[in-house]
A and B are shown apart, each in its own frame.
Chain A
Amino acid sequence: MRRGLIARSPTELPDAVFDARLDRLRAAMRADHLDALIVYTNNTLPAGVSWLAGFVPYWSEALLVVPLSGAPYLVAALSFRVKSWIEQVSRLGDVLHTPRIGLKAAQQIAATQPAAAVGIVDFDGLSAGIADDLREGGPGLVLRDASMIFENLRARADPAEIALATRAAEIAHRALAAAQGASLNAMLAKAESTARELGAEEIYLAAAPDLERQTHFIRVEGEAALGKSFALRATVAYKGAWVRLVRAFCESTVAQEAAAQFARAATLLPSARGFSGFQSWLIEGCRMAQPLDALLGSRLTSASPLPPGALVSAQGVLAIDGRTVLVGAPVLLGQSGEAASLLVDPSFD
């Protein structure tokens, strides 16, 4: 459950940014003959609603309703007592509180337009209970999937999102740079406190404690013994923007070469040919509401296209001089004809 800083910043996310996103969304809704759009959020799937309204639930769940005209409103399962907090951290016309968010959202839409066409982002993935309640609350509503509409709008990062992701990347870098101590837990504690003191909304820390034995990242509980070389990964959220960054702890020449190879591969994206020499690799980015969806990778059986101008996080496993090393960083894909660029230096020495 989210326990970092959730705050609204009129300088980092001015109203004009939300207005521009809503204008683009409404143009797409009109073209698709939708009267309203519904986006689900919880702390696992926050990225759709945070992009439109800045709201990130620390727990529980909510539906954002975007009518074709009028301010978006939130139907939240969080209790009325946190209404003022939600209003402080979000840009919303209203917040309605009810345990049955699907029922209430449908009733609200149907009250003015009983046969409205309602698009739902990731309708197939929506909880069955909420979907049933939507039908009960608005039996005349025409419910249909609006994933493609939203995905197309969400794909290209706008300047505000790039700035937030860059800040998230800086926080991740400073957190991993601060990861020092006599034990793995001491290092993780330093990284955790650094990120949170810098205003991270969330940080997930993972470790690959002994690269000679295993390259998978795990969440450490208890104490884990460190090998001669190991790696840490910070997944950081800052005001709705999510990135991953990896730091390998190994011989500095190996780490530097890995960072250089990674940078060459990453800047070739969306082409994945730069990763052909990697043992394994993964590219993640936001499509709808999950902050970091797998898009492309050596272990994936299908690939999602990497749209121009998208923010992604890349990570991979390399063998350099017989030694295994992990590397990863967030990347901004170029517009057509442009090279991609790293948001932060993936090296630490």
Chain B
Amino acid sequence: MLAEERRQRLSAAMHEAGIDCMVLYGNAWQGDYLRYGADFGILEGHGLALVSAAGEVELFLDSATDAERAEIEAPGVRVHFAAPIAPAVGARLDRMANARLAAAPRRFLPRWLTDTARGFALTDATALVDRLLMHKSPAEVAAVRRAARLADEAYVEFIRAVRPGRRQYEIVADIEAYLRGRGCPDNFMIIGSGGKDVLGMAPPSERRIAAGDLVTTELTPAVQGYFAQICRTLVVGKANEAQRRAFAVYVEALEAGIAAVRPGARAADVAKAENDVFRKHNLGDYTTSQWTRVRGHAMGLFADSKPHILEDVETVLEPGMTLIVHPNTYHPDAGYIVLGDALVVTETGAEVFCQTPRELFEVAA
């Protein structure tokens, strides 16, 4: 059981750090810390899990609907509906005031719990949990691998769904339905369509697909809470020469980034390998934060986990880290282009999970 394995790893880390009770915060945006300890995928409101060093878990939720769901979906966890949540958790922590208490991510906790007027103090254990989140066990890696396979399959559906005249949100509806039909309840997905006027991706809009559009997507389904991402770009109609030339830069950058992935390399090395390709093609300006957010990131219980792949991130890569390398950015001759593959860091380099060809797909105009 993944949940039990995670709880044992957390307990071991808490013992080593001298922590008696860990408070894990989560919401539907940033739910990975909570899910790690409580194995609950929160959808509504705030959640706080109290995990003892012995591995016992109490889960406080301020959504009655989610609390009801947790009673079934999180077996072995004592669930409390508590609104407002902070005083309820505070009352529980008051009874443990002499214990060594920690929290992750501490900066996300409701302010009330960190107020100096409280009778307990919560040290920041974010880095401790971050290490656990980053270094996946073989079972966790297997879940990411299955999610990546699902991402590949969903991208085939995406290619089918893109047709001139359809609106962006109708395309996303097809993909969400496809994933639902496969028993996958969670996905992160953004989309872009158009030409050189498009600077990035966003949630789906009412914009209609037109001949000549570049259509970009990040598709990120989850399996047992573990996300895996694929990024691809297609053209509606035949790709023109400028689009083909531009896309070749991204293929080269992605290959360079993946080649830089190996144990001991830093996240910065991967980003530099990708960006050097753009610099070589006199596109260095488009590797800055004005045009691109990150050159990849880790994936796991959160779709956008640490470390981010950027030239100033010193995190050292180790076997078991699951990442996406994606040199997504704007190209002045073609518009916004995305290309990225999910992978795991192995003992010798990287195992790429995504099987979808790295090509500029074309659909009928």
A residues at B contact (CB < 8 Å): 1-7, 42-45, 58-61, 79-82, 84-85, 88, 123-132, 185-186, 188-190, 192-193, 196-197, 199, 204-206, 214, 216-223, 235, 244, 282, 284, 290-294, 297, 299-300
Q: How far, in angstroms, from A314 to B180 measured CA to CA in the complex?
A: 26
Q: Quick one: which of B95-114 are within 8 Å of A by CB?
A: 106-114
Q: Does residue B287 face the partner (Cβ distance < 8 Å to A)?
A: no
B168 to chain A minimum Cβ distance, whole angstroms, is 8
The listed residue (B64, B111, B189, B293) touching A131 by CB distance below 8 A is B111
Q: How far, in angstroms, from A43 to B69 measured CA to CA in the complex?
A: 19
Contact of A196 with B173 at beta-carbon distance under 8 Å, contacts A42-B29, A81-B293, A129-B107 already known: yes
- CB pair A85–B202 under 8 Å, yes or no, is yes
Contacts of B108 in A (CB 8 A): 127-129
Closest to B330 in A: A81
Q: How far, in angstroms, from A193 to B199 measured CA to CA in the complex?
A: 28
Counting chain A CB atoms within 10 Å of each CB, the highest count among B41, B45, B65, B106 belongs to B65
- CB pair A193–B112 under 8 Å, yes or no, is no
Contacts of B204 in A (CB 8 A): 3-5
Q: How far, in angstroms, from A245 to B48 measured CA to CA in the complex?
A: 27
B335 to chain A minimum Cβ distance, whole angstroms, is 13
Closest to A4 in B: B169
- CB pair A7–B205 under 8 Å, yes or no, is yes
- CB pair A124–B174 under 8 Å, yes or no, is no
- CB pair B206–A5 under 8 Å, yes or no, is yes
Contacts of B239 in A (CB 8 A): none
Contact of A204 with B189 at beta-carbon distance under 8 Å, contacts A185-B180, A189-B180, A199-B169 already known: no
- CB pair B180–A300 under 8 Å, yes or no, is no
Q: Does residue B68 face the partner (Cβ distance < 8 Å to A)?
A: yes
Q: Does residue B298 face the partner (Cβ distance < 8 Å to A)?
A: no
Given A44-B44, A127-B111, A192-B177, 11 other A-B contacts at CB below 8 A?
A79-B289, A85-B202, A188-B181, A193-B173, A214-B72, A218-B73, A219-B69, A221-B185, A284-B65, A297-B64, A299-B81
- CB pair A5–B169 under 8 Å, yes or no, is yes
Contacts of B304 in A (CB 8 A): 59
Q: How far, in angstroms, from A126 to B84 measured CA to CA in the complex?
A: 12
Q: How far, in angstroms, from A192 to B178 measured CA to CA in the complex?
A: 9
Contact of A216 with B72 at beta-carbon distance under 8 Å, contacts A81-B291, A127-B109, A197-B173 already known: yes
- CB pair B189–A223 under 8 Å, yes or no, is no
The listed residue (A42, A45, A219) touching B73 by CB distance below 8 A is A219
Closest to B25 in A: A127
Q: Quick one: which of B56-112 are within 8 Å of A by CB?
A: 62-65, 68-69, 71-73, 81, 83-86, 106-112
Q: Quick one: which of B166-210 are within 8 Å of A by CB?
A: 169-170, 172-174, 176-178, 180-185, 187-190, 199-200, 202-206
B307 to chain A minimum Cβ distance, whole angstroms, is 15
Q: How far, in angstroms, from A129 to B81 measured CA to CA in the complex?
A: 25
Contacts of A1 in B (CB 8 A): 28-29, 188, 303
- CB pair B69–A126 under 8 Å, yes or no, is no
Q: How far, in angstroms, from A199 to B173 measured CA to CA in the complex?
A: 9
- CB pair A221–B81 under 8 Å, yes or no, is no
Nearest 4 CB-CB pairs, A to B? A129-B107, A196-B173, A193-B177, A294-B64
B327 to chain A minimum Cβ distance, whole angstroms, is 15
Q: How far, in angstroms, from A138 to B304 measured CA to CA in the complex?
A: 31
- CB pair B65–A292 under 8 Å, yes or no, is yes
Contact of A196 with B188 at beta-carbon distance under 8 Å, contacts A190-B177, A218-B73 already known: no
- CB pair B63–A292 under 8 Å, yes or no, is yes
Contacts of B44 in A (CB 8 A): 44, 204, 290-292
Q: How far, in angstroms, from A7 to B203 measured CA to CA in the complex?
A: 9
Q: How far, in angstroms, from A45 to B296 measured CA to CA in the complex?
A: 27
Give 6 pairs: A residue, B residue, CB < 8 Å, sorted on A. Answer: A42-B27, A80-B290, A124-B110, A185-B182, A292-B65, A294-B65
- CB pair A223–B169 under 8 Å, yes or no, is no
How does the 8 Å CB contact mask read for B143-171 relative to A, with 1 for contact and 0 for none? Answer: 00000000000000000000000000110
